Chain A
Amino acid sequence: MTDLSNRKWYTGMTTQEDWWAVWLGLGFFCLGLLTLAGVDLVGWIAYPKKWVFSLPEGAVAKKIVTPDKAFYALGGKYSITAKGFYKSLGPIGSILVTYLVFTVATTIGAYFMKWNIKRYITGWTIIFFLTYLVWFIGHHAFFAATAVDLKKSKFPDMFTLSLGGGASFILALIVGLIIGNFFKGFASYLSTAAKPEWFIKTAIVFLGVKVGYLPIKAAASSAKLGKEVAGLTGELFIAGAAATVVAYLIFWPGVYLISRKIFKLPRKTAAVLGSGISICGVSAAVATGGAVRAKPVVSIMVSALVVVWAVIELIILPGFFTHVWPRTDDPLVAGAAMGMSVKTDGADAAAGELMDEFMRTKIERDTHGAVQWPEGIITVSAVMTKIWIDMFIGLWAFILALLWVYRIERRPGERVMASEVWHRFPKFVLGYFAAWFIYLAIFFGPGHAGAPEGMDVLKAATAGAVPVEKGMRKFFFMLTFMSLGIITDFKKLREAQFGKMVWVYFVALFLFIIPVAILIAYIFHHGMQIPNIAPQ
């Protein structure tokens, strides 16, 4: 079956995952906006709470509850118009509604993308319930509860791992990796539905809602804090852009040099590896492969390596940045560096989110609750640099195409089409910016930047934003961790044919890319502070 999804500028709109991330993301974002008109259609999303099998004596079920209350529909807490209804759903009801809605929504996407529907739905159903099960287990107080949670629920002092929501992410990745590496038949059956990149792109559109909503949330404490947070996200946007351009222009030639001079690889392979290792992994490897007119097999081989290395980074870097350097002293340097070091959107956003959980829990623990950071700003910093990179690759591939076609290979008669830049543009980014800027416009427009006269509007916006930016986003992150694990087969690194490339990758990544990423992230993000939202 042929697939000419990029024949015209619009032909991929119904057939590409990238576009379907936009439709899914913006679809739920728009449903969320309806709360401004008093209609709440998003409050059903099931969200976990920390739990123990039975409460110790004297404890109150506040931050930590019993298993029968371990999930709740977010609308039961945040809705203005339908709080009672969403409360009445209960844990099982809200999970079932969540399942129904997302099954229908994603299956429509799968149908248009011409996937095997039967296999998609069974795979999706297994992944969905497995994900919720892991989400539940990961929220057991032993894994997730922090000292502050224990105190608020009047629990006696007890040992917990204090991982926050990070525990569920780690567990999801472990379960996925076990399936992907030990139950390969099952993993291959699930692969139709295990689409980490699609899930994360959708989650990044939801993250757009979060970036726009952050000032609204902060304004609930004070209008000043709201403006401060809006300013901070703006600064991340600018610093991220600068860091990305500088980093990429150092990364690419650096890896190209290493591949050509030290590892003696042919030009096209070096160019594709240069992009793949440098920064945006699979998408860059494919884009560059196309740009230099390499045989597709080059990109495919590099891609197979990229996804495995990205997961290795996801396992190592969040812990390294949180506990070794820069720790909680420079959280946004760590976030930006993450975005520039981890090669796929899925693994990067996942690593950023994991680090967000680690760092927030750490600072809260280290300061005994005196410093608390709003959730998600570190994730935003990790995703911001990544998004700039995703956009930049289209431009860079275009420059390489010009150079290769006109100068290096000098193919007479061939012209490079400017439309290539558009075809390589990451479309989900449009959804991310749209969601961000619209909520930002609500904050500064009818929300009066958090002044008292805007509070009603901001409260209504909150009711629609929270289920999307918190519930749906976290759930899609969970799906990403799980499906990343499922499609990652570490055995690929052992294949002899890849031998040389595995080593180029290792040397380039750990001795060149990550150190340079940290340095450049430091240059542009050092000293940026996350506001403290602890009640004074």
Chain B
Amino acid sequence: MQEEEKKEISGTGSLTGEALEAEDVLAGAEPWDPIETKLVVWSFIAALIALIIGLLVVPTSIFFH
């Protein structure tokens, strides 16, 4: 990335353009951990529960149509 562009993105914060050398931000993915499965699955389950409660509680939901 050009120096100028880096500066433009980093703007006037104390982080300088150099800070945007961020290959390690995109590379070096850790192996998938079981806790991540839990996080994702529980999040979906929570969404499902919220959806069911929402359907029953929100008067404008399609459940009442």
Contacts and interface: CB of A to CB of B under 8 A. Distances in A.
Given A526-B65, A527-B65, A301 B29 contact: no
A238 B26 CA distance: 39
Which of the four size classes fits the interface of chain B?
A: 35 or more
B30 A267 contact: yes
Given A260-B32, A300-B15, A496-B1, 12 more contacts: A238-B57, A245-B47, A253-B44, A260-B36, A266-B29, A408-B35, A491-B5, A497-B26, A523-B55, A524-B58, A527-B65, A528-B60
A256 B58 CA distance: 29
A487 to B, nearest CB: 10
Interface residues of A, number: 46
B3 interface: no
Contact of B60 (A239, A261, A300): A239
B44 A249 contact: yes
Contacts of B20: 297, 300-301, 497
Contacts of B39: 253, 256, 403
A525 B59 CA distance: 10
Contacts of B60: 235, 238-239, 524-528
Contact of B10 (A242, A300, A491): A300
B9 A264 contact: no
Nearest to B24: A266
Contacts of B32: 260-261
A526 B51 CA distance: 15
A266 B13 CA distance: 25
B43 A297 contact: no
Contacts of A261: 32
A364 B41 CA distance: 46
Contact of B43 (A252, A489, A501, A522): A252
Interface of B: 1, 5, 8-10, 13, 15, 19-20, 22, 24-30, 32-33, 35-36, 39-41, 43-44, 46-47, 50-51, 53-55, 57-62, 65
B54 A242 contact: yes
A351 B29 CA distance: 36
Contacts of A301: 9, 20, 22, 25
A524 B55 CA distance: 7
A14 B32 CA distance: 44
Interface string A281-306: 00000000000000111101100100
Interface in A80-107: none
A524 B40 contact: no
Given A239-B58, A245-B54, A260-B32, A300 B43 contact: no
A254 B28 CA distance: 21
A242 B22 contact: no
A8 interface: no
